[in-house]
Structure 1
């Protein structure tokens, strides 16, 4: 009898612990009251093409896969090439064009005609609510948060841990003038210490004219959530940045859908399209694209050069770590699409994009 009581007590403690942790990591969101371009019902955002809901059996099967399926070659057996970037390197760049640095995964640093902008900055060691568990970085960022120059704008695509990093935001809030985020994401930022007057929230198709050009938040086919019970309470999407001379697209995370063509028709062509190419799987095919679909999305967007992102930094799926690169290269050659695959930390300008280099095939 004592053993049974002890077991029940341990179960109760575990349940309470999970409940307390979940309360701490759930998004801090107030229900959206105004009419939105993105479908919004019952305090949840929705995709334009409804997703097939996962049944209990589907969810159980997926968890079984995570715990039992053997992963092969999902972490690099090479040292990921990373070029160190210094504040001096950045400040020496000219102010008469758009410069870029791929920092890792989907994190991008821009110098937009003299202003520094960050997209989806994730500098933590793990894409997780905890730094003792969860997907761990394959490489360190090319520059530390502390060494970054003052940031004019931080753009966030959605609130998943590999795109919205609490620890990074808490460092950046002191050196950032403005945060551009999807509707609902402002709640977490304010909770983390960002002043509300520094935050601008965006609906799909919402535009902001800045001193450096036009910024637009466009649709994606994805979802949001940071804990149990806050799924889709905040919006997700992609970013368009159009300066007087250049036009770039950042996909965030998305399954393949008609919205890419609609964005291309409205705001294309794009000098550079940064397209999610990684973390795909048959069990979530509607929210993450296969590399072949990523190339099609680039074509739909009327992109001139495609840069695959969302790869090379974290293990977030079952495919090999290099599969996104191998497949996107093969498909781009088949479809006659120009790829740019810079190493992390390489500084380049929009007018001088790095060519295709297969750095991931470097021998140990």
Structure 2
């Protein structure tokens, strides 16, 4: 499988998976990924989140990167878990592969979210955030994959090398927000991608539907494509209950989470990100911290939450074990039992109690 070559010129320190490459002044005359009507979150060239702060600029990036305070990470942080999932689950099972990559098995379907099996979350193989633990499910141990859900195009969420491998072996249905089909086709023109806007839905079969819902985040693959592809969270309505999967989001004003609760009811399961949150002055608009994630749990009233987006790729300033520690403190302060919101390690799986 050839390595990604979508970027021609890159600034490696900036091309972390948090998408901190958006300071360049880009031509605003056209969108290279998507053409469509102006809406309340698309100005004809770029997507945006109504009423919420947008991505940071060069000055803020330099202030963060030169400001110090970054905790050390170990070169290796192996997980004690290694999952070999069953070929099929009629009920519900969710296993963390690593970072934001989950294998959701429900109603006989096997669904991957933001699958990243590469060693780096980067456009190149020799630099950028590197894994400190292997995928919790080996690629060869994956069951037949029916669906892949992509939340946005940052390199820690959209790994075109992995998508190519999955297409060769499994031929899954691939679902993504608007514009991300062009990103994938640039590397793999043979792969069809179903795209939807916020509020759109895709029937996955077996009584499962994927609904694309807003998230407070942004997108970029290079130095001049900031917010030219949409980002989203997913709500899966299934025979085993509703699943709310959030790849990346800030908490913002909280309205998007109230809207999910009102429209879809109480989720059976919520995948909520708990990492990549320091320093708060920089990361708050785009990444929740554990305290924010607990607020989301209380708003949507999920029966079970699983924490992800921590402990695999070093993206921001917090230490590698701070997210689960901060989550434990936030749950205690909110008087929520610790087992209702678990910070998963790669290879760790959850199923509803029988």
Identify the TM-score tier after normalising by the shorter chain: 0.7 to 0.9
1:158 aligns with 2:175: no
CA distance 1:60–1:341, change in 2 (3 Å): closer
Among 236, 243, 252, which residue is 1:241 paired with?
236
Moved over 4 A (4+): none
**1:220: Cα distance to partner?**
0.4
Match of 2:99 in 1: 105
> Is the contact between residue 100 and residue 114 of structure 2 (CA under 8 Å) also seen in structure 1?
yes
Where do residues 264-283 of structure 1 align in structure 2 (5 Å cutoff)? 264-281=261-278, 282=280, 283=282
**1:347: Cα distance to partner?**
3.5
CA distance 1:75–1:188, change in 2 (3 Å): same
Match of 1:64 in 2: 66
1:20 aligns with 2:20: no
User: Where does the alignment leave 5 or more consecutive residues of structure 1 unmatched?
Assistant: 1-18, 354-364
> Is the contact between residue 76 and residue 133 of structure 2 (CA under 8 Å) also seen in structure 1?
no
**1:35: Cα distance to partner?**
5.0
Task: Please give the alpha-carbon distance, in whole angstroms, between the structure 1 residues aligned to 2:57 and 2:136.
Answer: 42
**1:143: Cα distance to partner?**
2.8
Task: Please give the alpha-carbon distance, in whole angstroms, between the structure 2 residues aligned to 1:313 and 1:263.
Answer: 28
**1:210: Cα distance to partner?**
3.1
Task: Please give the alpha-carbon distance, in whole angstroms, between the structure 2 residues aligned to 1:206 and 1:272.
Answer: 21
Match of 1:192 in 2: 187
Match of 2:177 in 1: 182
Where do residues 1-364 of structure 1 align in structure 2 (5 Å cutoff)? 20-22=8-10, 29-36=32-39, 39-51=41-53, 54=56, 56-65=58-67, 69=68, 71-75=70-74, 79-85=78-84, 89-91=85-87, 93=88, 95-174=89-168, 175-193=170-188, 195=190, 198-212=192-206, 213-257=208-252, 258-281=255-278, 282=280, 283-337=282-336, 338-349=340-351, 351-352=352-353
CA distance 1:342–1:70, change in 2 (3 Å): closer
What does the per-residue CA deviation read over 1:286-327, in whole Å, with 9 as the maximum and x for residues that have no partner? 111121111101212221221111011111111111111111
Q: How many residues align?
A: 322
CA distance 1:50–1:84, change in 2 (3 Å): closer
Task: Please give the alpha-carbon distance, in whole angstroms, between the structure 2 residues aligned to 1:242 and 1:227.
Answer: 34
For 1:303, what is the secondary structure of its paired residue?
coil
For the aligned residues, what is the CA RMSD?
2.4
For 2:139, what is the secondary structure of its paired residue?
coil
> Is the contact between residue 105 and residue 310 of structure 1 (CA under 8 Å) also seen in structure 2?
yes
> Is the contact between residue 156 and residue 182 of structure 1 (CA under 8 Å) also seen in structure 2?
yes
Q: TM-score, normalised by structure 1?
A: 0.81
User: Where does the alignment leave 5 or more consecutive residues of structure 2 unmatched?
Assistant: 1-6, 16-20, 22-30
